[in-house]
Amino acid sequence: MEELKKLLTQNKKVAVLTGAGISHESGIPTFRGAGGYWKQYKAEELATPEAFQRDPKLVWEWYDYRRGVCAKAKPNPAHEVVFKMESYFPEFLVITQNVDGLHRRAGNKKIFEIHGNIFTARCTSCSNRISLGDEPLKEIPLKCNVCGSLARPHIVWFGESYDGDILDQCYSFLATTELIFVIGTSGQVSVPVNMAKYAATKGAYCIEVNPEETSVTDFTDTFLQGKAGEVLPQLWEGISN
Ligand SMILES: [Zn+2]
């Protein structure tokens, strides 16, 4: 741990990649895999463009429910450390798979939400974005407040492409980052794994924080096993307040 602390004080450009694990510690279920059911549906059956085309009302009901869960959740000690990192390191970026907005609520501003944000909707025909609050929607499915067309959650669904412009900006940061943290990722979603691998091949020192080994562990320099909410505050202790 002391060696790692030293490394943190010696580097200036740092990226943090986060996944569902860090949100799970704030009580947000992953909605994937075993136990990830809502009513009788699995996430894989609802988070697709086909499901939305078939039944936009059902998909919106699910997102309305999930947004309510996210609105009640609070950032945990791991989010707080990631927030402190942003003001400590001269160059810093959070890249998150999470759509729950918890990093923003913890105070982070330098962030790319590569899977979208559950508190945002967008129109299916014009370019309008709609900011959704913490309260349930009054009308489901949601309509665009500019043109009246159907609006959809601003989320990257299964089978959809990532925003190329955001990916480019992530990769350009990762090309020269000195340190990369990989926190709470399942290691199954290939884009974040590829991002971590890319940073590592470009020379970044890679620190993984996860309760279990993942496909990232194979190429990581240091694997810190445990909950992010416990491991990160220990690592950050004595570095800054
Ligand atoms: Zn519109």
pLDDT in tens, 192-231: 899 999 999 999 999 999 999 999 999 999 999 999 999 9
Boundary (domain end) residue, out of 124, 155, 186: 155
Residues in the chain: 241
Q: Can you give the pTM of this predicted structure?
A: 0.95
User: Can you state the angle between helices 228-236 and 77-88, rounded to 10 degrees?
Assistant: 40
Whether 233 and 148 map to the same domain: the answer is no
Whether 38 and 16 map to the same domain: the answer is no
Supply the pLDDT for residue 35. Answer: 57
In CATH, what number is assigned to the domain containing residue 216?
A: 3.40.50.1220
Supply the pLDDT for residue 123. Answer: 98
pLDDT in tens, 100-124: 999 999 999 999 999 999 999 999 9
Return the exposure string of 141-168: e unless at least 16 CB atoms fall within 10 Å of the residue's CB, then b.
bbbbeeeeebbbbbbbbeeeeebeeebe
Whether 101 and 182 map to the same domain: the answer is yes
Look at residue 150 and tell me whether its pLDDT is greater than 90.
Answer: yes
Supply the pLDDT for residue 211. Answer: 93
Whether 181 and 224 map to the same domain: the answer is yes
Supply the pLDDT for residue 72. Answer: 95
* Weakest mean pLDDT among 33-47, 69-83, 114-128: 33-47
Look at residue 60 and tell me whether its pLDDT is greater than 90.
Answer: yes
Whether 80 and 33 map to the same domain: the answer is no
In CATH, what number is assigned to the domain containing residue 37?
A: 3.30.1600.10
Boundary (domain end) residue, out of 155, 185, 207: 155
Supply the pLDDT for residue 11. Answer: 94
Domain around 216: 1-27+75-115+162-241
* Weakest mean pLDDT among 34-48, 80-94, 121-135, 209-223: 34-48
From ligand 1's centre to the CA of 151, what distance in Å?
A: 7
Count of the separate structural domains present in the chain: 2
Whether 1 and 41 map to the same domain: the answer is no
Whether 55 and 122 map to the same domain: the answer is yes
Whether 222 and 198 map to the same domain: the answer is yes
24, 103, 115, 154: the catalytic one is 115
From ligand 1's centre to the CA of 52, what distance in Å?
A: 17
Whether 63 and 127 map to the same domain: the answer is yes
Q: What is the DSSP letter of 195?
A: H
Q: What is the DSSP letter of 105?
A: H
From ligand 1's centre to the CA of 45, what distance in Å?
A: 26
From ligand 1's centre to the CA of 138, what distance in Å?
A: 18
Look at residue 94 and tell me whether its pLDDT is greater than 70.
Answer: yes
Q: Is 115 a catalytic residue?
A: yes
